[in-house]
Structure 1
Amino acid sequence: MKAHPLRRTALTCAATVTVTVLALALKPHSTTATAAPSGSAPSGDSSSGSSGVSSGGSGSSGGSTSGTRTVTGDTVQTRYGPVQVELTLSGSKITAARAVQSPGDDPRSRQINAAAVPTLVQETLSAQSARIDTVSGATFTSEGYISSLQSALDQAHG
């Protein structure tokens, strides 16, 4: 006996929708932040024109884990421009985070990062580490932010 074409079509559509919903519901885990050892985070030699901060990071860590200090992570070149993170720490607690550089050469990048960067900063303050989720729609910025964040944390604790 042959199955009805309409029934087969309905089942195929239902299966497709189910798989799509499940795929979109997955939260990706970023391994970028922990994959690179200290000092080997990718940093480009050419700055694509943002704020003129030199690439390679300018960490200002005194090696101490007490008191308030500020450290700056390496500049990480992404497909859309450089990303660099600056942390303020009190002891070993992250009290503030900000993106010193983020892609913004075009209006779309500025729009994406206006929403993504505050989310990444909030995630950083909540997690107190570089183990944070990427922001949907801002994958390149998120990965660059996480790499620079890890670099800053390495400088702060190293």
Structure 2
Amino acid sequence: MAAAAASLAVMGIGLELGMGQINATQNLAGPVGNATTLTTSGAAPAATATPTPTSSADAGGTAVSDAAASGTFAGSSVQTRFGNMQVSVTIDAGAITEVTALQLTNHDGRSVQISNYAAPILRSEVLSAQSANVKGVSGATYTSSGYLQSLQSALDSAGF
């Protein structure tokens, strides 16, 4: 059993070494806190986050309102056992067009490695699913949970 666990650990490290690196030791957007729009210090907001409701008809002819805002929205900073997680989401014309990690876990070298491995996978899954309802990355439970919680708070801010 110990040999199997060691084998899995070595395999996980091998996967991480082959992935592109993300610097998880810094907050890339500066202090954002629980802001609903992403801003950079000294600059205007990255996007206007004003909902523009539109109406359309569903298959039954009932009017449907699409109140999702277009813009870039920062999710809340989520505290995990291995450090804080925060992401922002860009929404355009009712679709998630980008997910950016603003802060990844950085408790120690291992948590940085896990974040570097998991963040691109989570981003890809979210863009494909167009929601925060995706499976977490195996071996990155805390990172996945924090990432998806922060993403959901950003989506909620956008009315998505």
Give TM-score scaled by structure 1 length: 0.63
- Which protein has the larger Cα radius of gyration, Structure 1 or Structure 2? 1
How many angstroms does 1:62 deviate by? 2.0
CA RMSD of aligned residues (A): 2.0
2:121 is the alignment partner of 1:141 = no
C-alpha distance 138-66 of structure 1, shift in aligned 2 (>3 A): closer
> What displacement does 1:134 show?
0.5
Match for 1:62 among 41, 50, 54?
50
Aligned residue among 101, 104, 113 for 2:103: 101
The 3 A distance-change label for structure 1 pair 86 and 80 is same
SS at match of 1:105: coil
Gaps spanning 5+ residues in structure 1: where? 1-48
Q: 1:128 aligns with which of 127, 130, 135?
A: 130
Following TM superposition, the consecutive aligned residue runs of length 4 or more in structure 1 with deviations greater than 6 angstroms are: none
Report the CA distance between 1:135 and its aligned residue: 0.5
The structure with the largest strand share of the pair is 2
Q: CA deviation at 1:67?
A: 7.8
**Helix, strand or coil: the match of 2:114?**
helix
Q: Secondary structure at the match of 1:86?
A: strand
What's 1:17 paired with? none
Going from structure 1 to structure 2, the CA distance change for 1:143 and 1:107 (only over 3 Å counts) comes to same
Distance 1:131 1:81, change over 3 A: same
Provide the identity percentage: 43
TM-score norm. by structure 2 comes to 0.62
5+ long unaligned stretches in structure 2: 1-24, 38-48, 53-66
> In structure 1, how many angstroms separate the alpha carbons of the residues matched to 2:78 and 2:113?
20
Return the offset for 1:104: 1.7
Corresponding residue pairs, total? 109
